[in-house]
Amino acid sequence: MSAAAVPTAGVDLCDKVVLVTGGARGLGAATAQAVVDGGGKAVITDVLEEEGAATAERLGDAARFVRHDVTSESDWQAALDFAVAEFGTVDGLVNNAGTAAGRLLEHETVEHFRQVVEVNLVGTFIGLKTVIPLMREQGGGSVVNISSAAGLTGLALTAGYGASKWGVRGLSKIGAVELAEAGIRVNSVHPGMTYTPMTAPVGIRTGEGNYPGVPLGRVAVPEEIAAAVAFLLSDAAVYITGSELAVDGGWTAGMTVRHLRGQ
């Protein structure tokens, strides 16, 4: 199936309220769109105020935006309170906000490494911690943590990023085992290379054949990742917790014949 044919409204999220961090653009915006398309309500949070407000406006009355820095505990509580005030509760959390920059291990600075871990991993941890009491009280919920193919394999040039994404994967497992008895499911999604404002500057191109390094031969579009996230948020995934879902065109599955032949 080509990227253009991805159904974004195939999942039933009727009446579910989902908080999506980093939802102003890219994968987060596509996820918020999938939530609304599925009949749910999306609370988009981000540090990008103009883009966040514009995305929420585009999605209509089932979406709201609130400024939120995921590294701040008080911002997290305020974002959760905002969601509850606007839509009554929070059934789903997508820890999507993230930052990336490619650097060789030997050129990575301690300061930058800490910055990346702070947003990608500590931000995810605070988010999980913040929603637990509410989800416990209401008898359950679904948390989807956006890791990466770089959280499943050792990817060059990703010292801080890759380490943070492995951390997100591990934290998801811990959340899954600790929170199952409360009806809270926690899963991680591992996108491969996807065309978004994070990756566009490095010159990737969409379309068939433009990414021969992965089995499916192309980079993803955000809607393809969002469809997987929406599924995990939905009741169709009610028996799935602690799983790691690679949505990476086969990247982490192994080497292709093309690769083996050095083509």
Ligand X SMILES: NC(=O)c1ccc[n+]([C@@H]2O[C@H](COP(=O)([O-])OP(=O)(O)OC[C@H]3O[C@@H](n4cnc5c(N)ncnc54)[C@H](O)[C@@H]3O)[C@@H](O)[C@H]2O)c1
CA dist., res. 218 & res. 249, Å (int): 8
Is 220 exposed, middle or buried (CB count within 10 Å of its CB: 0-12, 13-18, 19+)?
buried
Stretch that binds ligand X, among 32-40, 56-64, 173-181, 196-204 (CB under 6 A): 196-204
**Number of shown-chain residues binding ligand X (CB under 6 A):** 30
* Tokens matching residue 208: 């068939």
Rounded to a whole number of angstroms, the minimum distance from the CB of residue 239 to ligand X is: 25
Q: Could you confirm whether 161 is annotated as catalytic?
A: yes
> Can you tell me which of 8, 33, 55, 99 binds ligand X, judged by CB under 6 A?
99
- C-alpha to C-alpha distances, 158 to 26, 106, 112, 189, 218, nearest whole angstrom: 20, 11, 11, 18, 21
**193 interacts with ligand X by CB under 6 A:** yes
Which CB atom, from 146 or from 257, has the smaller least distance to ligand X? 146
Q: Catalytic residue among 161, 195, 211, 239, which? A: 161
Structure tokens that stand for 50 in this block: 């103009």
Q: Kindly state whether residue 108 participates in binding ligand X, applying the rule CB under 6 A.
A: no
Nearer to ligand X, 14 or 19 (CB): 19
* Neighbour-count burial for 190-213, b at 16+ CB within 10 Å, e otherwise: bbbbbbbebeeeeeeeeeeeebee
Does 226 interact with ligand X (rule: CB under 6 A)? Answer: no
Contact between 115 and ligand X per CB under 6 A: no
| Minimum CB distance to ligand X, residue 139 (Å) | 28
CB 233 within 8 Å of CB 144: yes
Q: By CB under 6 A, is residue 64 in contact with ligand X?
A: no
Q: In this chain, which stretch among 5-13, 26-34, 179-187, 250-258 interacts with ligand X, using CB under 6 A? A: 26-34
Query: Which sign does the torsion angle of CA 225, 227, 232, 233 carry?
Result: positive
Q: What angle do CA 103, 152, 102 make, to 5 degrees?
A: 10
Q: Is 71 in the site for ligand X (CB under 6 A)?
A: yes
- CA atoms of 151 and 140, how far apart (whole Å): 26
User: CB neighbours (10 Å) of residue 182?
Assistant: 16
Q: Which is nearer to ligand X, 37 or 46 (CB)?
A: 46
- CB contact at 8 A, 93 and 144: yes
Q: Does 46 bind ligand X (CB under 6 A)?
A: yes
Q: Which is nearer to ligand X, 48 or 134 (CB)?
A: 48
Select 41 or 68, whichever has its Cβ closest to ligand X. Answer: 68
Q: Least distance to ligand X from the beta carbon of 7, Å?
A: 20
- List the one residue from 18, 19, 20, 21 that touches ligand X (CB under 6 A): 21
Phi, psi of 246 (to 5 degrees): -80, 125
| 48 part of the interface to ligand X, by CB under 6 A | yes
Catalytic residue IDs: 161
List residues binding ligand X (CB under 6 A): 21-22, 24-28, 46-48, 68-71, 96-100, 119, 123, 146, 148, 191, 193-194, 196-199
